[in-house]
Amino acid sequence: MATTTATERAVLNLVEDWSAAELAGDWAALGVLLTDDFIGVGPKGYLRARDQWLARYRSGAVRTTAFEVGDTQVRAYGDTAVVLVAQRQQSTNNGDDASGAFRFTLIAVRQDDRWRLAGLHVSPDAAAA
């Protein structure tokens, strides 16, 4: 079994906090976890800046009842880490079903001695279908 470094543990904690905030729709907690210049790429290729990502939760447009992550792989490069995550969710977006299985690529950076998400990319998980 591979050992986990302190950096990998810290990044895994970030992923856990992010997952919990996404499940809860906690836009305030997400706001702390995202860098000011965060950008998210959705499963259909749309781009959302930090404020747009948070607004979906603040407005109540996104409602999540399940958000599970697994098969998490962390690759650390100094103050940057790339994280691959398998994810399943049950949710709605503006009343439309947004449930499914996805793969996330998360970009984490260490800023002021804490890890935050600078970006993410979501793709449908064909292997789970």
pLDDT, tens digit only, all 129 positions of the chain: 456 799 999 999 999 999 999 989 999 999 999 999 999 998 889 999 999 999 999 998 889 889 898 899 999 999 999 999 999 988 888 888 888 889 999 999 999 899 999 999 999 887 765
Q: How many domains does the chain have?
A: 1
Domain presence at residue 1: no
In 3D space, the residue among 69, 72, 75, 56 whose CA is nearest the CA of residue 101 turns out to be: 69
How many angstroms separate the CA atoms of 122 and 41, rounded? 6
**The CATH number of the domain where 104 resides is what?**
3.10.450.50
| Burial of 5 per CB tally in 10 Å (0-12, 13-18, 19+) | exposed
In 3D space, the residue among 123, 105, 108 whose CA is nearest the CA of residue 7 turns out to be: 108
Domain presence at residue 120: yes
Q: Are 54 and 22 in contact (CB under 8 A)?
A: no
What is the extent of the structural domain holding 98? 6-128
Domain presence at residue 108: yes
